[in-house]
Structure 1
Amino acid sequence: MPINKSGGADNKVPKKGALTLEALQEENDFYRGRGGISEENRSYGYKPAFYDMESGVVYPSKFANGHEAPMHVLDGLPDDVVATRLNDGKVTAVRPGVISGFMQRGHFYTREQAALATSQLRDRTQMLSDPQQHNQLLDAWEKFLVDEDYPGDLIRPVVGDSWRRCYQSQTDPELQYAPIISDTEQLNQRRTLQADLMKAANPILQRASQVLFRTDSLILLADADGLILDAKADDAVLSQARDINLIQGGVWNETTAGTNAIGTALAAAEPVQLYGAEHFCAGIKHWTCSADVIRDPHDGKVLGAVDLSGLTDTYQSNALDFAIMAARLIESNLAKDYFYSRQQVIEATRSMFVGWKTEGLLAFDRRGRLVRANQHAHQTLKQLGADLVVSPQCRLPALDVDLPLASANAPAWLQQQLTLPIELKNQRVGTLVVLSAQH
């Protein structure tokens, strides 16, 4: 779900730069009401902490006496990351590259990452369909196609918004099935691009298919464009799903397939359940489906969706809970891989960051996500005029080693810098950028 935008009084975006007492207060004001402050996420196991981009070390928030603090305070940070103190010893600023966030289960989350994770737990709105309204909804749909109007008390907002998007994009309401990518090579290429998502989802889909055995339902994984990457179900159910291309290769975004749980969840970026007549296209109105989006634990980007579908006589209100749970489990697997990737880079670059004293260094994991940055990097990036926020949530797609062609779109400043592979146990785990302003 999207993060709730309510927050502090002025709701100003915190300034980027060295962390000071004023900056810390700005962050608290900005993330208040969003799950990015201690009092709002403590019950989920998050503890306030600081991440040092240079060393990769995480420091729990502590008072000056060494006791753990229940909120973010600077006084307990070690001297080597402190920039300024008052005469009484109170820390007023830390050096650039120290980020406030939270520790949970041994992993560091930025405030934004923690806010995203907790918003999915706190704000899970159950948007359930009502099968009893099927005939009324059919009448409302026919009226909508004539004059774009319908009874406001009958159509749920998520459905009405979707119908309007479909109408405006001129989606065919008489469509009988979704389009499909039938070219095997093209489909395999698209699936290869989503290797991380498919790897994280596979054990969840396998387990779900066992649970769903002989339930006349199927579970589906789609990418952010609504392309079905994988489908698990009994052969009989898959046979029925083929009639509308609700199978691997089917393209189920709203523009191509109208209102449907996959496409509408992706468009609304939230969990969605649809029953029969709530679908926009005629050929899909005898199906019911529930879906939730899957987000990247690194930056919250929607990567795809997981969907539970069946014919209308298989409707169960808890299907949406099932889809939401599957999405969270997939995200948990993605998070494990993400944090493991971060730790690999930290381990592989220890000697580099100790030995290279005069160069600006940026260490990225294999997907182009920033893990480490030394002090020289901050100044050199300014000299280069690079629009790069030095944070664990920074990502440079051009450094994604799994996308060989991505480097062609590297920003101009990066094209002038030396890049070296980061290897650990004879395997590439990322990329080191050695910064120089002398070009």
Structure 2
Amino acid sequence: MDQREVRVAWENFVERGALSASLRSPVAASWQRSKNHQVTIDRARAPLVPEAELYRHRSKYASLRHAARSALESSGTFLSDANSMMILTDPSGLIIDTQGDARVIDAGRAVHLEHGGRWSESDIGTNAIGAAMAESKPVQIRGTEHFCSEIQRWTCAAVPIHDPADGELLGIVDISGPANTFNPQSLALAVSVGHHVESELAQSIRQDHENLLRQFLSKRSLWASDDCVVLDRRGMIVHATEHALSVVRGQRNFVGDAAPTQFLKAIPFDEWPIKLREILPNASFDLVRSESSDIGAIILLHARRRAAVVDRSSQTDLRSTEMPRRAAAAPKPAVTGFVANDPAVQAIVRQVETAAARKMPILIRGETGTGKEQLARHAHAASGR
């Protein structure tokens, strides 16, 4: 359908509620949702949140903004001549970052297509950001396909960004511009940027897991008598001893097929010890942070502790102090570190430690006298078995 035909179909839907069979299915479905949300066609602009609320949302999704930063910054160059802007929203459709043609960014303020604008379908009717959220797939909305008449001066293409670990919707990447500069390649560009952001997020997750395991291994000899669980910031289990895993999975608080600690993802990081103490009273907790982000936690289970667990670690970071050891248990010999001065050998040792912590099978090969047996012992010690 061309824009004139879409206009006629829109008028028929507004006046009589009849949907044209010729409409693209994402548009027809979005118009119906907009009507169900009781959005009026004369709504001239999206809602705009206060600065304090915008700051909270930008802080909450700092990792998403960091993953998208390079793509948004580069868009400031190649979109400046394309009469378009690139937008990043959080999962509610609230705009947290923009880059691109300064003239388009300035024009967007008239309809609150700017930082703090809310662009879900319930806020402003059919638009690519809201439709991509609702459909959970890439969507392009052009001109008169928008539900509200003032927004029909725009064209937009959007793609959802999902958490690579659990598939949760994290936000939307959108490319918007005046309707008279419609570019059918905008959707392909948005999809490409979305894939880039998800790739950056996946790399960040892998790095966080490596940092967690390094922190755990650096203290493992001090915790040799304790069962433990290593969690990332999403509440996913990165490493656990067999007994600790059975204890966590056996809690009555956990139901369904999700990871038993995944509920932590929705809880503020500083409140993790409080929530964990409710369900694991005989445990202590070490929150692990980097300089810029929350990474995860190490949980130690103390089977014979007589006193209530005291949390000493709500403000610890990658240089955090040791957790208390179980007083009633006889100390075990410390794990002897594998001494290596050569950078190549040090890299091999780190790989072995990581694989051992994850209980992955390890095959060690080499000439006689090269230290295979010592490395095998080190791997066994690092595995916590």
Q: Same fold (TM over 0.5)?
A: yes
Aligned counterpart in structure 1 of residue 286 of structure 2, from 408, 417, 420:
420
Residue 429 to residue 403, structure 1, CA distance change in 2 (3 Å): closer
**What letter corresponds to residue 188 of structure 1 in structure 2?**
Y
2:186 corresponds in structure 1 to 319
Structure 1 segments unaligned to the other structure (5+ residues): 1-129
Asked if the contact 1:174/1:281 (under 8 Å) is kept, the reply is: yes
Q: SS where residue 376 of structure 1 aligns?
A: helix
4+ runs deviating over 6 angstroms: 388-391, 399-402
The Cα of 1:210 is off from its aligned counterpart by: 0.7
Give 1:384 shift: 3.2
* Offset, 1:212: 0.8
Gaps of 5+ in 2: 309-385
Whose radius of gyration is greater, 1 or 2?
2
Question: What corresponds to 1:121 in structure 2?
Answer: none
Aligned to 1:213, the other structure's residue is in SS state: coil
Describe the shift of the 1:138–1:409 C-alpha distance in structure 2 as closer, same or farther (beyond 3 A).
farther
Match of residue 23, structure 2, among 155, 159, 179? 155
Does the 8 A contact of 1:366 with 1:400 survive in 2?
no
The aligned residue for residue 300 of structure 2 is: 434
Query: Out of 26, 33, 38, which is 1:170 matched to?
Result: 38
For residues 226 and 406 of structure 1, do their structure 2 counterparts lie closer, same or farther at Cα, with a shift above 3 Å needed? farther
The TM-score, its normalising length taken from structure 1, stands at 0.63
Aligned to 1:274: 141
- Match of 2:43, as an amino acid? L
Contact 1:254 1:263 in 2 (8 A): yes
CA distance in 2, matches of 1:376, 1:160: 54
Q: Distance in 2 between matches of 1:306 and 1:319?
A: 11
Question: Taking structure 1 as reference, are residues 213 and 333 closer, same or farther at Cα in structure 2, changes over 3 Å only?
Answer: same
Deviation sequence 1:150-201 (CA, Å, 0-9, x none):
221x1111111111111111112221111112x2222112111111011111
Question: What's the TM-score, normalizing by structure 2?
Answer: 0.72
How far off its partner does 1:138 sit? 1.4
- The reply on whether 1:179 has 2:42 as its aligned counterpart is no
Q: Is the 8 A contact 2:128 2:140 kept in 1?
A: yes
Alignment identity in percent?
29
Deviations 1:313-336 (A, max 9, x none): 111111100000011111111111
- Say how many residue pairs are matched: 305
The 5 Å alignment of 1:209-248 reads 209-248=76-115
Are positions 1:137 and 2:6 aligned together?
yes
Q: Mark the CA change 1:284 to 1:236 in structure 2 (over 3 Å): closer, same or farther.
A: same
- What does the per-residue CA deviation read over 1:188-239, in whole Å, with 9 as the maximum and x for residues that have no partner? 1211111101111111100112111122101000000000001112321122
- Displacement of 1:370 in angstroms is 2.3
The aligned runs of 1:49-64 (5 Å cut-off) are: none
Quick check: 2:248–2:260 contact (8 Å CA) kept in 1? no
RMSD across aligned positions (CA): 2.9
Alpha carbons of 1:424 and 1:228: their partners in 2 closer, same or farther (altered >3 Å)? closer
Counterpart of 1:205 in structure 2: which amino acid?
L
Contact 1:353 1:374 in 2 (8 A): no
Specify the alignment match of 1:252 in structure 2: 119
What is the CA distance between 1:347 and its match in structure 2?
Answer: 1.3
